[in-house]
Amino acid sequence: MEVSSKLQDAWQGRGITSTLLLPLAGVFALSAAIRRALYRRGVLSTQRLSVPVVVVGNITAGGTGKTPLALWLAQQLQQRGRRPGIISRGHGGAIGASQVREVRADSPPSEVGDEPIMLKRRSGLPVFVGRDRVAVARALLASHPECDLILSDDGLQHYRLARDVEIAVVDTRGLMNRRMLPAGPLREPAQRLLQVDALVLNGPVALPVHGVATFHMDLVGATFYLLACNR
């Protein structure tokens, strides 16, 4: 989810811009709470797959390092003899609401998004993209029945897909002003972090969450690419 720099600046505190957006944030928070309650009570049904599902997501708008962590987990699972498949929303790609696509190493980023291509090239695993995570996962398993685990890059709020493990990632921005969208960065209340199976802090983050297994990660660049040439 891309957000403007002005809005991100407003999320750093509880100034006038953020405060003016509180009514909209209240509507968003109520809608999210009702939706989650409907899934929790079984009014809206979750769909369970034939293999375990691990979701790597976040509760804040914008990137937090989910995709690099998903790639690392995929590689670790491979080393331990598992055969995971990866599913993703395919942000930045031109994928329709009902479309599902398998990502190839040479797939156009304009169609499937750039991060899924990176996942495909770096892992060599089956990678499928689409808005409906359940349909995407089922398509992946139908095409690659050897897969014994689904790793979802993002999708913490996609409750229709039942999951066995939830991992939430928080980066150096933390939770900023801790308000819900659009008055703040949160897609779900901060208390949602108490319900995940693991919390991963990307970089120096001061965010104590008691009772949740917490891990630390750092993104380290190893290769430089020349993006422009002098003529």
**Residues 30, 33, 39, 40, CA torsion sign:** negative
Beta carbons of 165 and 54 less than 8 angstroms apart: yes
Q: Which mean pLDDT values do the consecutive 10-residue runs of the chain (231 residues) have?
A: 76 95 97 96 96 97 93 97 96 79 95 95 97 96 98 96 98 95 96 96 88 93 77 53
**Per-residue model confidence (pLDDT) at position 220:** 86
Q: Where are the domains of the chain?
A: 5-217
For the full predicted model, state whether its pTM sits above 0.75: yes
Fold (CATH) for 5-217? Rossmann fold (3.40.50)
Phi, psi of 142 (to 5 degrees): -70, -40
Beta carbons of 60 and 190 less than 8 angstroms apart: no
Give Cβ neighbours of residue 46 (< 8 Å, ≥ 6 apart): 39, 159, 160, 161, 162
Quote the tokens at residue 42.
């079984």
**DSSP assignment string, 162-225:** --SEEEEEE-TTTTTT-PBTTTSSBSS-GGGGGGSSEEEEESS-----TTSEEEEE--------
